[in-house]
Structure 1
Amino acid sequence: MPISMTLRPARAGLAALFLGCAAMALPATAQDVTSQFQISAFKQAVAEAAADDESIGAFYRDRDYAPLFTGEADIERRAALLRALATADDHGLPSVRYDPAELTAAFAGAHSPRELGRVEVLAASMLAQFSRDLQSGATEPRKIDSGIVRDIPRRSPQALLTEFSRKDPALYFRSLMPRTPEYVRLMRGKLELEKTVAKGGWGPEVPAKALEPGQQGPAVVALRNRLIAMGYLTRSATQTYDATLERAVQTFQIDHGLTADGVAGPGTIAALNTSPVKRLESVIVAMERERWLNRPRGERHVLVNIPNFTAQIIDNGKVTFETRSVVGKNVPDQRTPEFSDTMEHMVINPTWNVPRSIATKEYLPLFQRNPNAAGHLKLIDSRGRVVPRGAVNFRAYNARNFPFAIKQPPSNSNALGLVKFMFPNKWNIYLHDTPSKSLFQREVRAFSHGCIRLADPFDFAYALLARQTDDPKGAFHSRLRTGAESMVKLDVQVPVHLIYRTAFTQARGHMNYRDDIYGRDARIWNALAEMGVKLRGVES
């Protein structure tokens, strides 16, 4: 619901206050009396309308109820607000929350001081709601999915109205939206998809389960036409899956996170046949997610896109390092959460302190069947002593009363590999090496218990250490060779952002799309649609 979108009845105390003030004024002439009562009536109406929103009420109290939108000198502010509200659909925001037609009619229909006071608060409410939605998102992510644990700073209506009152109105609205190339390109992609949808889409779907180079026939023609409509192929009359068509398929596969082998297998056909309406939903969700992260991310930061299965180092807006990643399984309690934190150090030759959930759910049942199973793991009591397995009756324990910690000492076979990268957080999520290298060759890489495994952890470490030593590789391996656990602090801590984008852009080329592996984007879209976000171009 919008902030104070409904105008509420007077409160007796406020009414008495303003009538008393008017009576005490004792104006000198009848004209002054009328003017004074008009001012008091306006102030009283503003106070009444804002009574249920303390933040808006505080804003007007601080300015002695002077108008911001309805005064004779406020025409530029009114016009700027109406123009801004008219762009809500461009941003994929719920325009029903701040309908410029409703506000225009309210301005035109307000003739008495009391009517003007009510319209004043309506305009303030719409500005505050639109501003906050555009700056930090319209939805509350934690209410949509428990795995989205990102902290989103929300500015109060009072702060937003105060800033608006002090700034050039046009500059104020331009300052709200994310000022990132990604957001601008997403808006451009949204517009292009809306045009595509309005024209009827990308044509008939490809009627095949799989197609290979060299094939001919109607399905190949449908593949060709689909790729032409999507902009991956120039106009052609070929009916053969030739080398040109194969290259177009490869480019499409790269943009969709698929193995770029030029063969239109089931995964490629499924991506090709995904409708532009579904892609439009993904782009609108990506814009909302960009608004959630609308703050400085750090000149250097680490960016992990969960459904893209990648980890990057970004320096001054450019990707300077990228590696494949493995993320959490799509099962409860193992999906990788979304949040931002700060990387403080790395641990070379780490000990794996098995999380209690894994110890009790996976290893305790294993030990109950065979006390000597998983011999690479050490059983540790509350005093830090290693406990012989034979001395423990594992059947006497359950998940609640299991009294031991489980650790794996540093080794080449350690579950964390040979290095982990720490940004301490209450979800116990970090980046690390792994001995299970084969998983990085798969297209879908959701296999972990929630942490992020890196395909190239040593190179990642070198890139981080290059800022604090002339020989990052030597510094790293001198610690590694000891075989002992060793912590290396980062001289300059690095922000880490774990994000989830099924639609994202590149500086040049097509939109990129990924599968919604946890179903989070579908839930976000449903929430936005319930709020009234529109898919322009789609017949109602």
Structure 2
Amino acid sequence: MRRRQWANLACVSALALSLGCAAALAEGGAGTDPTLGIPLPEQPALVILDGEKPAAAQPQARAEATPDTPADARSATAGTADSEPGMVTGAVTPSAQPHGSLVTPDLPAAPAATPDEPVELDIPEIELPPADPALTPVIKPEAAPEPTTPPMRSAEPLIAPPDLPKVVVDLPPASEFAADITKRAAEALALPRLGERERADILAAYEANGNKPLWIDGKGWSEAGKRLTARLSRATEDGLRPADYPLPAFEASDKGSLAEADVRLSALVVLYARDARGARIEPRRLSKLLTPTLSLPSATEVLSELSGATDAGAVLAGYNPQHEGYRRLKAKLAELREHLDDTPLVRIPAGPALKLGMRDERVPLVRARLGLGPTEEPVFDRSTATALAAFQKQAGLPANGILGAQTLAALGTPARARGEQDIVAQMERWRWLPVDLGAKHIMVNVPEFRVRVVEQGRVVHETRAIVGKPETATPIFSHKMDHVIVNPSWYVPPSILKKEFIPGLAADPEYAAKRGYVVTRSKGGGISVRQPPGERNALGWIKFMFPNEHAVYLHDTPNRRLFANERRAFSHGCVRVDNPFMLADQVLGAEWTHERLKRLIGSGERRINLPQPLPIHLVYNTHVVGADGKLTTFEDLYGFHRMVRQALEQQG
């Protein structure tokens, strides 16, 4: 029975709390949370129906909780003497008296309470852990709320943010140099061999960078600038002239001279990079048969690569050829410069050409220059002619033993200087080759009369070749071989047609037919002469095609006996190959062996495409350094070596 009484009392307390909150809301309207300033939701009205009103409280219970009773006494009388331990009691102060009386059936009735009389419950305090003052939210005072619902305010922690370290960035005063760079750029770019396009590209590069300096740091050269100037000063290592790249002088305290030096260095490195790729001379101006495709970098490309490089000097040096043949020549050049020339320089006067058996007062001087002993008579004898021929071969001149104007000029140049000039001229021709020769490629060295197939830097096939005569020289260029023709027909080229066939046909209409050629006349009056496939065909049984502007290619020949000659310059410009079917093995792959190709001989013309285009390079290497460091020279068949050397000397 006692448990039921306490349950009823708890219900009465809860109801009183609800009524008190409802009355407070009714009086004050929608309340607002005093801490966060958030409007509280509106509470529903509490309505007690007549049928649900509790019976009147017992007078004894009410008398024990009058307003005049002290707080401690009221708390004590809130329960009976029979209260169970652990019952939670409290004090509730309603703002309005509910209708009717609240009666607990099993408790004595309490006297009627006066209006707004508080009902007190003894609720013990809840022990909470101590709060961290640093985490206590701070509520900032706020202005009076606007008619609309105020937004939620964020609590700000009391913990102050840590002090951030000060970052000091030492930037070059780029803005101070911008005006000077703009003002002095034109003067700084005034280099004789720097083209207009390169100058415009350099200006555009600075404008894109906000006219900020690239190689100075406000006090002088930056680290990149120092590496670049060091490379330019060592240009002679690669056969270039440091005088072509004069380093600018400046005053560190003069912003104008610093700005001009920065732009001038940009111009110099662009010039160096292009020279390293072969821009010093134009091969086609030397001869229409020198038609390499130069890989010249643009000024934009050079400045972009250098400005973003970790070692700008190494990147600049990398524009020089990286091929093994070039590196060996570079090492030989350094070796020559280490040793002084002990040969005494003898000045030989100009005069008529000297040949075997001629008498001339200059003969003793010639013999002294060649290191020969004196003779009783000034006769150009066989020993003198033989020594002179050896000198001519070493100098890249026709080894005919005749003292002509070119040989006389060569004799007047110190041996050390002449050797340097020869190697530098040969290094220049290496700059004409592509940067990438191809993992597998064909190299035809015209002065050497050799054809080589190179794979991964190793020669996998080598054979003899016949090249063009001096009057019908083999051109120098690079291309890609893409197909092979078995049983080819030979169409007589225009040069031979003009020189041989047209005069022959004019004298004898059967001139071509008697020689096994077929003449075709066009409607416009022109003619073409073709030699059908066969044993006597000028191309032999197979030709290797790489269509080019010179209409030359590699092919077989019916005159195989010519390969026995040491000097094999007999063709009209094409390259005749010894053992052509072995070369076909290398270019066509395993599917087409030379045995299979030979079975096609005598049938119709057959085209076979290569598995993939194969780079081919027709080069003019008169000076070659072997793996053992030995320098070998070959005859300057067409004078191309002499042309390059003289062009470089004239520039100097």
TM-score (norm 2): 0.60
Contact map agreement 2:277 2:295 (CA 8 A) in 1: no
- The structure-2 alpha-carbon separation of the partners of 1:60 and 1:118, relative to structure 1 and needing over 3 Å to count, comes to same
1:189 aligns with 2:332: yes
Deviations along 1:341-363, whole A, 9 cap, x unmatched?
11011111111111122222211
CA deviation digits over 1:68-116, x for unaligned, max 9? 112248521221112101111121113221024xx2xx13x35322222
- The residue type equivalent to 1:320 in the other structure is V
Residue identity matched to 1:287: M
Aligned residue number for residue 382 of structure 1: 522
Cα distance in 2 for partners of 1:145, 1:120 equals 38
Alignment match, 2:6: none
Match of 1:357 in 2: 495
Is the partner of 2:628 in helix, strand or coil?
A: coil
How far apart, CA to CA, are the structure 1 residues paired with 2:464 and 2:181?
61
The one-letter code sitting in structure 2 at the alignment partner of 1:522 is: R
For 1:502, the equivalent position in structure 2 comes to: 622
Aligned residue pairs: how many?
429
Which residue is equivalent to 2:117?
A: none
From 112, 125, 132, the counterpart of 2:254 = 112
Tell me the secondary structure at the aligned position of residue 576 of structure 2. strand
Structure 1 residue corresponding to 2:581, chosen from 458, 478, 484: 458
What do residues 30-89 of structure 1 show as CA deviations (whole Å, max 9, x unaligned)? xxxxx7983443242354446862011011011111111122485212211121011111
Q: Deviations over 1:267-324 (max 9, x none)?
A: 9xx9xx9955444322111111112214111111111111111111111111111111
Q: Would the aligned equivalents of 1:131 and 1:173 in 2 still touch at CA under 8 Å? A: yes
Which residue of the other structure, out of 210, 215, 229, is the alignment partner of 1:64? 210
Give the whole-Å Cα distance in 2 for the aligned partners of 1:200 and 1:45.
54
- Aligned to 2:647, what secondary structure does the other structure show? helix
Corresponding position of 1:141: 283
% identity of equivalent residues: 31
Q: Against the structure 1 CA distance between its residues 152 and 427, is the aligned structure 2 distance closer, same or farther, given a 3 Å change threshold?
A: same
Does the C-alpha gap of structure 1 residues 446 and 128 become closer, same or farther in structure 2, counting only changes over 3 Å? Answer: same
Counterpart-to-counterpart distance in 1, 2:557 and 2:340: 44
Change (3 A) 1:225 1:39: closer
Matched, 1:419 2:519: no
Q: Does 1:477 align with 2:598?
A: yes
Q: In the alignment, residue 90 of structure 1 is paired with which amino acid?
A: E
Structure 1 equivalent of residue 238 of structure 2: 91
Residues 1:293 and 2:433 are matched in the alignment: yes
> What is the CA distance between 1:200 and its match in structure 2?
3.5
Deviation at 1:173, TM superposition (A): 2.6
Question: Are 1:136 and 1:294, in contact at CA under 8 Å, matched by a contact in 2?
Answer: no
The equivalent residue for 1:215 is none
1:370 and 2:491 equivalent?
no
Q: Residue deviations 1:204-228, cap 9 Å, x none?
A: xxxx98xxxxxxxxxxxx9x999xx
Return the match for 1:518 from 638, 644, 649.
Answer: 638
Equivalent residue number for residue 223 of structure 2? 76
Q: Tell me, what secondary structure is at the counterpart of 1:479?
A: coil
Cα separation, 2, equivalents of 1:317 and 1:378 = 45
Aligned partner of residue 83 in structure 1, secondary structure: helix
Q: Tell me if the contact between 1:50 and 1:56 (Cα under 8 Å) persists in the aligned partners.
A: no
In structure 2, relative to structure 1, the CA distance for the partners of 1:380 and 1:81 (3 Å cut) is: same
> Unaligned 5+ residue runs, structure 2?
1-172, 190-195, 347-354, 357-367, 373-390
CA contact under 8 A between 2:279 and 2:296: conserved in structure 1? no
* 1:170 is aligned to 2:316: no
Partner of 1:155: 297
- RMSD of aligned residue pairs (Cα, Å): 3.6
Distance 1:60 1:310 in 2: 49
CA distance in 1 between partners of 2:203 and 2:508 (Å): 68
Query: Does the 8 Å contact 1:49/1:121 carry over to 2?
Result: no
- Cα deviation per residue 1:100-153 (whole Å; 9 max; x = unaligned)? 4xx2xx13x353222222111111111111122123442221122221111102
Structure 2 residue matching 1:342: 3-state secondary structure: strand
Q: 2: distance between equivalents of 1:76 and 1:405?
A: 66
Structure 1: unaligned runs, 5 residues or longer: 1-34, 210-221, 227-251, 258-263, 384-400, 533-540
Q: Report the Cα distance in structure 1 between the residues aligned to 2:480 and 2:427, rounded to whole angstroms.
A: 24
Could you tell me which amino acid in structure 2 is paired with residue 99 of structure 1?
P
Deviating more after overlay: 35-44 vs 83-92: 35-44
Alignment partner, residue 145 of structure 2: none
Rate the CA distance shift 1:114–1:139 in 2: closer, same or farther, 3 A: same
Which residue of 263, 272, 289 maps to 1:130? 272
- Corresponding residue SS for 1:406: strand
Segment drifting more, 86-95 vs 419-428: 86-95
User: Aligned partners of 1:530 and 1:256: how far apart in 2?
Assistant: 18
Contact 1:339 1:499 in 2 (8 A): yes
Conservation of the 8 A alpha-carbon contact between 1:110 and 1:119: no
Secondary structure at the aligned position of 2:581 is classed as helix
Q: Which residue of 1 aligns with 2:572?
A: 449
How far off its partner does 1:436 sit? 1.7
CA distance in 1, matches of 2:442, 2:344: 37
- The 3 A distance-change label for structure 1 pair 64 and 36 is closer
Measure, in 1, the Cα distance between the counterparts of 2:342 and 2:320.
29
Judging changes above 3 Å, is the alpha-carbon distance between structure 1 residues 477 and 85 closer, same or farther for their aligned structure 2 residues?
same
Cα distance in 2 for partners of 1:36, 1:134 equals 31
What SS does structure 2 have at the residue aligned with 1:497?
A: strand
Aligned to 2:164: none
Q: 1:21 maps to which residue?
A: none
TM-score for both structures, normalised by structure 1: 0.71
The offset of 1:256, in angstroms, is 11
Map of 1:29 onto structure 2:
none
1:172 to partner: Cα distance: 1.2
Bigger CA radius of gyration: 2
Q: Contact between 1:134 and 1:291, CA under 8 Å: does it hold in 2?
A: yes
Residue 462 of structure 2: SS of its match in structure 1?
A: strand
Compare relative contact order (CA 8 Å, sep 6+) and give the higher one, 1 or 2.
Answer: 1
Q: Which runs of 4+ in 1 moved over 6 A?
A: 254-257, 264-267
2:463 corresponds to 1:323: yes
Contact kept, 8 Å, 2:341 with 2:416, in 1: the verdict is no
Whether the 8 Å contact between 1:349 and 1:417 is mirrored in structure 2 is yes
Could you tell me which amino acid in structure 1 is paired with residue 337 of structure 2? Answer: E
Query: What corresponds to 2:483 in structure 1?
Result: 345
Q: Which moved more, 1:340-349 or 1:38-47?
A: 38-47
Counterpart contact for 1:327–1:453, Cα < 8 Å? yes
Q: Equivalent residue of 2:608, what SS? A: strand
Secondary structure of the corresponding residue to residue 412 of structure 1: coil
